[in-house]
Structure 1
Amino acid sequence: MTDLAARGAARVEWIRSRMPLLAAAREQFATSRPFAGHLIGMSLHLEPKTAVLLETLAAGGAEVVATGNHGSTQDDVVAFLRGQGMTVHGARDDTLAQHHENVAAVAAARPSILLDNGADLAALAAESALAADALAVADPWNILGGTEETTSGGIRLREELAGRIPFPVIVINDSKLKAIGENRHAVGQSVVESFMRITNLMVPGRRFVVVGYGWCGSGVAHYLRALGGKVAVVETDELKAFEAAMDGYRVGSLEQLTEWGEVFITATGHPGILTQSFFEAVPSGAILANCGHFPWEIDVPALREYSTGETHLDDAIDRLDLPGGRHVILLADGRMMNLAGREPKGNSLESMDLGFLLQSLSLERVATGADTLVAGAQPVPDDLDREIARRMLAAMHAER
């Protein structure tokens, strides 16, 4: 085993030892073998917790072909998974073009079940289905179904790809269980930890603007305030804005809060949140960061075009000079900073144990009961949510 693979193996061993829900699922799958005869194609952050998920699926009989997401792949984990006989594409320093090639390589293997993050694989499947119809291909890419991890991917499925997905896709992020455990508390905690780890700046007394008050944004706001940060929220949905106000945050438009904020964190899942007009008005020294899945919430290309110069200050920290003697600090190149920044840890082990059990059982439902599901995006079946909540409460010893 290479040194890189050995390091990955050691990290995965620690993670595996702290994920009891997946351990129980692995034992269950080893007997029931729900994925026997299936090739699962995955596009999801490749880090130690994901490796434990893939081990769990393999125990259930799955063959796996996988790639990570752009900028978050951990090379030692890739080396470990390849040593376990899995086909894994990608590396941490891949360009965006190389990442797209990696996703295409997963699709080229023609998996029968998809484990998607951002709907990249689903988009390729939709293109394949259209091409097959147009060319009357005798052997189209037949997909039983799949899962989608993120809010961003769910939005793509329901908007960009609406009516074009001929198989069921269970959107894991629709689960209230995941929203509470992983998005609000785990993402909230890990984003704030990552801000401190990357910048080495204090939170208390600093003015933060959180753009988006969904589950992730509300969690980020909560943990920033818990550590003494002054927090304001930008939210275009009136009900969510009302919730933020009732939770005690200052609420306003981005235009109203631009001059007030010192750190701006996007958490919307939508593109084009911080754009040219913001860059023209933001105070000098402001820090810009994103925790949404796609690196499109901060319009980084427009920011660089507007910039008069750029300096790479540290791992995941860039200074961009702006007209008039101003500058801004960009973290992790606008990518998901808790997975693309320095010493990426991602969400807590417990939250990902819950979230990946939800993934595992949803994929099992696709493999064994796809005919009970409808085509296109849909929420996690209620019985799975409740079963996993019971298991998580038992694992937490919540009765004590």
Structure 2
Amino acid sequence: MDERVSAGRARIEWIRSRMPLLAQARAEFAVSRPFEGRRIGMSLHLEPKTAVLLEALQAGGAEIIATGNHGSTQDDIVAVLRSTGMTVFGARSDSFEQHLRNVQSVLDAEPDIVLDNGGDLAAGLVARGRTASVTGGTEETTSGGARLRTELAGAVPFPVIVINDSLLKAIGENRHAVGQSVVESFMRITNLMVPGRHFIVVGYGWCGRGIAQYLRAFGGQVAIVEVDVLKAFEAALDGYRVGSATELATWADVIITATGRPDVISADVFPLLRDGVVLANSGHFPTEIDVPALREQAASVVTVADAIERIEFADGRHVVLLAGGRMVNLAGPAPKGNSLESMDLGFLLQVLSLERVVTAPETLLPGAQPVPHDIERTIATRFLAALDASR
């Protein structure tokens, strides 16, 4: 047996044993077979928790055609999925251009359901004029939901349930799981301490709230950059320092972006940074830090370790860039991502939403929309039971 398959299976078995919500869905789908005869095209981080999601869909009769997202694919998991008969594209070492070709390969298979992450599949379907043959799908991220409502508004005639619109996911996965995993990843990749260090969190949505909360819980001093005045108001009343990126740049030891928007740390910020500042991004797209402008301003770039680059300026200052500006909580040695329990909850939102798309499409509207409330209530009830919160 391929060593990667053996290693990947061991990791998946451990994670499967800690995801009871998906286990229940997998057992139910094995009986009801809601995806029988359906081809699901997926673009989502290919790591062990995603493998457990795909097992549930496959148990329900789905044919899976999948690729990962740029920079987060785990090769042993790809090997396991291929060994089960799934068609899977992608590797950890893929360039961004190869990632885009992988997305096109998924679309070449002509899926009739899409499980999207960042809107890449939906955009590809629109570009190909192939939207009429798609029943519907889901979108995992805030970034993808924004694309559906702006760039792709009115162009997607099938229903797309935006998982990140769910309050359940916002609290369970974005605030608590992303908050935890970003702080854990910062410590794991850099081996730096949090207590006493000055952190700027750019964005005070659910992910930004969680990152700020967990940094403060570990003893970090935290400031918030937020352009929405109501969210800035909330951050101030939550006890954080609030200002613009340029106002706070000279104070920061670490800057973490969490907005889903490009260039929120832009070229005008870099000259203001203190020597040794660490830059990291937790958003889906690797564009929140203007990395091309950062490299243009650099006198030299030194690769220090896995996911760590030292960007040196002519004036003697340097900054440390983590994961090349890609998602920091899926980067570096032994990447973990969000907690098992949170992804069990988030992926149950995915599979039950996809089940609704194929079994009751008449209850849904064209284009982006939130998770139906009855699905959220069902999952909240199941999660509380699994957590045994009454103890």
Same fold per TM (> 0.5)? yes
> What is the correspondence of 1:193-342 to structure 2 with a 5 Å cutoff?
193-342=184-333
Taking the aligned partners of 1:303 and 1:339, their CA distance within structure 2 comes to 22
Please name the residue that 2:337 is paired with. Answer: 346
Taking the aligned partners of 2:108 and 2:332, their CA distance within structure 1 comes to 30
Tell which deviates more after alignment, 370-379 or 47-56. 370-379
Taking the aligned partners of 1:370 and 1:322, their CA distance within structure 2 comes to 55
> What is the correspondence of 1:17-96 to structure 2 with a 5 Å cutoff?
17-96=17-96
Please name the residue that 1:15 is paired with. Answer: 15
Taking the aligned partners of 2:294 and 2:243, their CA distance within structure 1 comes to 23
Is the Cα contact below 8 Å between 1:21 and 1:354 reproduced in 2? yes
Is the Cα contact below 8 Å between 2:132 and 2:157 reproduced in 1? no
| Stretches of structure 1 lacking an aligned partner (at least 5 in a row) | 133-139
Taking the aligned partners of 1:342 and 1:262, their CA distance within structure 2 comes to 22
Q: In the TM superposition, what is the alpha-carbon distance from 1:141 to its structure 2 partner?
A: 5.7
Taking the aligned partners of 1:47 and 1:118, their CA distance within structure 2 comes to 17
Amino acid paired to 2:47:
E
CA RMSD of aligned residues (A): 0.9
Is the Cα contact below 8 Å between 2:116 and 2:137 reproduced in 1? yes
| Stretches of structure 2 lacking an aligned partner (at least 5 in a row) | none
Residue aligned with 1:208, SS: strand
Taking the aligned partners of 2:155 and 2:295, their CA distance within structure 1 comes to 35
Q: In the TM superposition, what is the alpha-carbon distance from 1:341 to its structure 2 partner?
A: 2.5
- Does 2:336 correspond to 1:381? no
Please name the residue that 1:123 is paired with. Answer: 123
Can you list the C-alpha shifts for 1:266-287, whole angstroms capped at 9, x where unaligned? 0000011111101122122111
Is the Cα contact below 8 Å between 2:18 and 2:340 reproduced in 1? yes
Amino acid paired to 1:301:
P
Q: In the TM superposition, what is the alpha-carbon distance from 1:159 to its structure 2 partner?
A: 1.0
Can you list the C-alpha shifts for 1:43-65, whole angstroms capped at 9, x where unaligned? 00000000000000000000000
Taking the aligned partners of 1:155 and 1:303, their CA distance within structure 2 comes to 26
Is the Cα contact below 8 Å between 1:117 and 1:153 reproduced in 2? yes
Is the Cα contact below 8 Å between 1:110 and 1:141 reproduced in 2? no
Taking the aligned partners of 1:341 and 1:293, their CA distance within structure 2 comes to 16
Percent of pairs with identical residues: 68
Q: In the TM superposition, what is the alpha-carbon distance from 1:324 to its structure 2 partner?
A: 1.2
Aligned residues: 391
Taking the aligned partners of 1:127 and 1:141, their CA distance within structure 2 comes to 12
Q: In the TM superposition, what is the alpha-carbon distance from 1:166 to its structure 2 partner?
A: 1.2
Can you list the C-alpha shifts for 1:46-94, whole angstroms capped at 9, x where unaligned? 0000000000000000000000000000000000000001000000000
- Does 2:105 correspond to 1:114? no
Please name the residue that 1:104 is paired with. Answer: 104
Is the Cα contact below 8 Å between 2:299 and 2:314 reproduced in 1? yes
- TM-score, normalisation: structure 1: 0.97
Can you list the C-alpha shifts for 1:349-373, whole angstroms capped at 9, x where unaligned? 0000000000000000011111211
Taking the aligned partners of 1:213 and 1:323, their CA distance within structure 2 comes to 33
Can you list the C-alpha shifts for 1:288-342, whole angstroms capped at 9, x where unaligned? 0000000000111111111110000011000011131111100010000001222
Taking the aligned partners of 1:363 and 1:299, their CA distance within structure 2 comes to 35
Is the Cα contact below 8 Å between 2:203 and 2:259 reproduced in 1? yes
Q: 1:141 to 1:82 in 2, by over 3 A?
A: farther
Taking the aligned partners of 1:395 and 1:108, their CA distance within structure 2 comes to 40
Is the Cα contact below 8 Å between 1:212 and 1:234 reproduced in 2? yes
